[in-house]
Amino acid sequence: MKYWSLRRIVWSAVLYSSICTLLSCTPSLTDGNSSETTNVAIVTSDGVPAVAAKVKLIDAENWAYRTLLQESVVLDSAVAGPDGTVSFKTFPEAACNLQIDHESSGVVVQGFSRNGKVVDETASIRLKKYAELHGTCVGSSDAAAYVTLDGTSYRSKIASDGSFTFDGIAPARYSLVLGDSKGKLSLAGTASLFEGESLTADTITPEYTGLLIDDFESGDSISVLGRITDGYWYSFNDNQKGGHSSVTTSFIQGTVPRGTSALKTDIVLGLDTGIDLYAGIGVYIGTDKSDWDFSTMTAISFWARGKNTVRVSVESRLIDSIQSWPDFGKTIVLDSTWRHFSIPFDSLDLRDSRAADLGITWAMAAKRIFRIEFDATEAYNRNGDTIQLQIDDLRIEGVSVSDLFRQTGSTP
């Protein structure tokens, strides 16, 4: 198993190891558990101290749950002093982002602290010129009331005509989360903002009964959902068991079912080496140690085209714990035409497996789902075959964003 070597996320923060001698008189953030003081200098894009910059410590670990409960995601805040510095005396145990805003510039530093300590010691942070984000939501029922950007306190009300605007936000890549007046949430893809850019997002139709896993618009291995839950795409093959199968991944642009980008995967099954040949790709819903209750799932849906046959698996930690394969899944035959697949949960089967022999049902397995895989094996392909798979707009139907966010934990 490996991470993709594709354009991993680089948040728009330029961190410098040193820039100036820090003065002792600095405002501080004090909530938390660590006892060591950390000083950070904040400078503008021109390299001068960012006097009076607003600094917020964001609860990244519990951001989803706090957003669901409509609680503040800000654990602490301070204003930079006359030398542009802030002193951190203590930190929470929860993983935190650092959001800094100053006049016409800002930055979001993802994973700034964890377990009561700064993850990456740095003496200074340079701000970037603000970006702007504009968009429109459509739909007469369950109209969205606001939109917020993951891992931050950035939030915009949605006007009566469906429009929303973020006039000044730190340039970065964000997942957009919409909420209605009743507290229901919808995940609406990503927005990649560059320094000084004004971006108009595609028209958004909020969906409150399904869960967007990825729309592949960002062009990297972190899924849309994964920006919030720490989920990511990976590839796997039979090489460690003596096979020679391979997987290559990229992104295609242009005419795709949704948006402008889709995932492209080429799988080559190695020649017969006396083992069961296999290779494929998968996506974790959250971290590789977490699992999620998908009991309300009605189907898995996506657009796909390609060549030969793959098996789509919705994988359970319960089945993985007894080292049984395959998991609940369904084989699909691909051709050169984009087709929309919607596979009902009751069409997923275990085939011949130890889990089936033990009587494990979907109702049991669905309580501990942790990943989705697309795999090719010699069971339904030939040795040496090239299996081509292109995917767009991967979703879980019947599981809402609110359902998932509710499972992310509790706030301190």
3-state secondary structure labels for all residues of the chain: CEECCCCCCCCCCEEECCCCCCCCCCCEECCCCCCCCEEEEEECCCCCECCCCEEEEEECCCHHHHHHCCCCCEEEEEECCCCCEEEECCCCCCCEEEEEEECCEEEEEEEEEECCEECCCCCEEECEECEEEEEEECCCCCCEEEEEECCCCCEEECCCCCEEEEEEECCCEEEEEEEECCCCEEEEEEEECCCCCEEECCCECCCCCEEEEECCCCCCCECCCHHHHCCEEEEEECHHHCCCCEEEEEEEECCCCCCCEEEEEEEECCCCCCCCCEEEEEEECCCCCCCECCCCCCEEEEEEEEEEEEEEEEEEHHHHHCCCCCCCEEEEEECCCCEEEEEEHHHCECCCCHHHHCCCCHHHHHHHEEEEEEEEECCCCCCCCEEEEEEEEEEEECCCHHHHHHCCCCCC
Whether omega for the bond prior to residue 49 falls within 30 degrees of 0, making it cis, is no
Superfamily of domain 228-404: Galactose-binding lectin (2.60.120.430)
Q: So what's the pLDDT on residue 36?
A: 61
26, two tokens = 């600095």
Instruction: Give the per-residue pLDDT at 382.
Output: 83
Tokens representing 139 are: 């739909």
What is the β-pairing status of strands 299-316 and 329-334? antiparallel
What average pLDDT score do residues 43-52 get?
94
pLDDT at residue 369 greater than cutoff 60: yes
Q: Which of the four pLDDT bands, split at 50, 70 and 90, describes residue 26?
A: very low
7-129 and 228-404: identical CATH topology? no
The stretch 289-300 carries a mean pLDDT of: 97
Higher pLDDT, 40 or 186: 186
Contact 267, 245 (CB under 8 A): yes
Percent of the chain with pLDDT over 90: 73
Checking if the pLDDT of 324 tops 50, the result is: yes
- Confidence at 295, pLDDT banded by 50, 70, 90: very high
Question: Domain 7-129 is of which CATH architecture?
Answer: Sandwich (2.60)
Lowest mean pLDDT among 20-29, 180-189, 218-227, 332-341: 20-29
Sequence ranges of the domains in the chain: 7-129, 131-208, 228-404
Query: What average pLDDT does this structure show over 175-200?
Result: 94
Confidence of residue 186 (pLDDT cuts 50, 70, 90): very high
150-184 pLDDT tens trace: 999 999 999 999 999 999 999 999 999 999 988 89
Answer whether residue 104 shows pLDDT above 70: yes
Q: How far is CA 170 from CA 17, 127, 178, 189, in A?
A: 21, 8, 19, 18
- CATH hierarchy code of domain 131-208: 2.60.40.1120
C-alpha to C-alpha distance for 344 and 298, rounded to whole angstroms:
6
Report the range out of 20-24, 211-215, 377-381 with the highest average pLDDT: 211-215
Min mean pLDDT across 192-196, 245-249, 274-278 is at 274-278
pLDDT value, residue 37: 73
Q: What's the whole-number mean pLDDT along residues 354-377?
A: 96
Mean pLDDT of the chain, nearest integer: 88
- pLDDT single digits (tens) 249-280: 999 998 999 989 999 999 999 876 677 899 99
Cα 180 to chain centroid distance, Å, stands at 21
Q: What is the pLDDT of residue 351?
A: 82
| Identity of the amino acid at 248 | T
